[in-house]
Structures are given as C-alpha cells and as structure tokens.
Homo-oligomer: A and B are copies of this chain.
Amino acid sequence: MSLTRIKEGAAVIEVPQKVVEHITERNEVFYNPAMAVNRDLTVLLLRVFVREKDRPIKVAEPLAASAIRSIRILKEVPSVEKVFINDLSSEALKYARRNLELNEIPPEKVEVWNEDASVFLLKTKYYDYVDLDPFGSPVDFLDATAKALAHRGVAGITATDTAPLSGTYPKTCLRRYGAKPIDNEFYHEVGVRILIKKVAEVFFQYDLPIEVLFSYAYLHHFRVFVKRYRGARRVDELVKNKFGYLLYCHRCLYRSTVPLVRWNGAPRECPVCGHRLDWAGPLWVGELWNPDYAEEMLKELPSVEHQPETKKLLKAVVKESKLQTVGFYETSALGKALKLPFLPPKKVLLRELEGVETHFSPEGFRTNLPHEEVLKRVRNLVRE
C-alpha cells in the first residue's frame, strides 16, 4: 500500500494515499486535511488551558485514527502528562503506532487502547481533556465523556452532521439532538447552540455545570469546547437561564429568545410585523465563548504552526466574543426582508448599527440594537 507523508503543525504522519483522496467513514485510518484548522484551534486552546493547572494534564483521544491530533498535542502543548489514544480499529492503531514512532514520542507519554470509545473512557477516567472528533455525530460518546472528565476538565467536541443541525434534516435533529433547527440566515449558529444544549443536558443530568470556552462552525464541522464544573445549584441556574427557545420571524427577521422553563408565555405573533413566529430549540442561549480564552488563544498563535484560515477564524471570534447576541443579521437577508432597492455596504452597516462581524458568515454581523431600531436605521440608510 502506498503511503503519503503529511506535515501538520509540529507533527509528521504517514497515512495510506487512498485515505487522503477519499474521506469516508470506511477509511480505517482517517486523516482529513480540512480538519487541520480544528486541530490548530485545539492546540491553541490547550496551550491556554494548561496554564490554569499546577500539574501536567491527562488527555484522552477516544477516536484517534491516525493519532495526528494526539501527536500534535504532545508536541505542541507544554505540560502534558500523558495522552491515552484509543481506536476501535486495530488497523488504524497500526498507523497510529507508526506515527507515534515517526514523531519520536516517548513511550511513557502514551497509552494505546483498542476498545469501544465509551468503554475506553469509562475504564481509563478521569481526564483533564477529552477530545471527541467523530465522523458524524458525537452523541454516541457524550455520556461516557461526561463521566470521564475530571473536575475543571475540558471536552473538545466535533460534530460533522451539520446538515441535521442546520435545518436540512430537521427530523434527524429532533431525534438525535432533541431540538428543532431552523432555516434562516444564522442557521449554523443555531446548529452550534443545539449541539451545546445536547452536550449540556448530558452533563447536567449528573449535576455537572458547564462553561462554553469556545465554539465555531467551519466548513463541514461544528466544534465546541466546554469546561466541566461541580454543583447542582449552578446547574439549576444554567437550566433556568441558558436553555431557551429561539423565536424568529421569517418576514421581518425579528428574533428573540424565551427561557425553556417559561415557554408557556411566549408570543406567537411577531411583535414587530404581526407575522406568525417560527421557532428553534430548545437550544443554548448562553455564551458561545469565554472572551478571555479567545484572546489568549490569539496570543498563542505565533507559537503554533497553523493554517491561514485558523488565524482568520480566531481573529473574527475574538471580535464577536465581545458582543454575544443570540443570532446575527446578514446584509442580503435584510435587503430581501425590507425589499431594499440596493444593499448598503457592510462597512456602513457595521458603523450605523454599532455592529461587529461574525465568523459564522462573511456578510453577517451582530448588534445589540433592538430589532425595530435595526430596521429603522437600515431603511434610513437606504433612503439617504
């Protein structure tokens, strides 16, 4: 079998040529170059995370495949005690082991397991960091992850089933995530918020509160980093304040949220234009980022060999993390809803609406202005 050598970050790995050509779940050893941004951000986040700890961290990669991620963590994150590498495929582990050698990882720094991912997590717990990077949905592994994280541990969770989460397959989303997605201009943000809600409810059932450190959508994946804490009272507060439904008007773009536990009191008609409101959720209406974390990650950027897209995404997130609205506006959606004869330049919109850009969409922006004020200012802009 012909092998290809790939360099990413500080790691060099060898994978079969066919794997790079065809990314499918069937490829036993899985290397997806589009995921380099995902791994860059993981390394950056962990470089910030380890500073909180007064000891080296213990890491698990339950779906390790080629082990590229574990190798990068070991080489690029200071203060890692050990990485537990697991894959159900013994074929994948052959490559993982070869790659560990290729990168001269000291044997005492890794432990390799060949188990069902959940069994692996439950048998080797507790971890400071667990990385879930499945092909498809992470739901299969959330229960074991919640149980396997140490106090103040972090989970990095990828979902590549973005079609259900984004509203293309709403029924699948209802079954899998217990929430309704929506087809609007910020559908991917809604998808990320549904993913976080699902993760949160798995943790909450065990009285484990979470904090969202970082989250994003990029190409065909969503990714969230959550930190686990302790305390039933804190969970109560999160359930009360951070779980909600999104209300959305497809006619005038009005959006608001209603707390999940106060669903029976939500308006049914748009208070701005009177149109029947659509909805999404239940979803996470809390923060998508810890702004300090995002900023510190950006500072780590020069120390990590990264993709150009990583920098772009991170810089955008640092900005938008300062203005954490639920949902954002898009120029073209505004133009369509308001039947504008032309679209105002985004720069002008940002200025006039006190907006900040979002990484979710090149033409999207967040603003704290009330919806009616947004509509008024946009109309005025076009009239001028």
Contact = CB atoms under 8 A, between A and B. Distances in A.
Nearest to A209: B175
Interface centre among A118, A139, A268, A279 (most CB of B within 10 A): A118
A214 interface: no
A381 interface: no
Interface centre among A140, A205, A207, A235 (most CB of B within 10 A): A205
Contact of A239 (B174, B204, B232, B236): B174
A209 to B, nearest CB: 10
5 contacts: A118-B143, A172-B232, A175-B205, A177-B205, A263-B264
B122 A261 contact: no
Interface of A: 116, 118-119, 122-123, 139-140, 143-144, 147, 171-172, 174-178, 180, 201, 204-207, 232, 235-236, 239, 245, 247, 261, 263-266, 268, 277, 279
A204 B173 CA distance: 11
The A contact surface, by secondary structure, is helix
Given A139-B206, A174-B261, 4 more contacts: A116-B123, A143-B144, A175-B207, A264-B266
A205 B140 CA distance: 8
A282 to B, nearest CB: 9
Contacts of A174: 236, 239, 261
Nearest to A178: B201
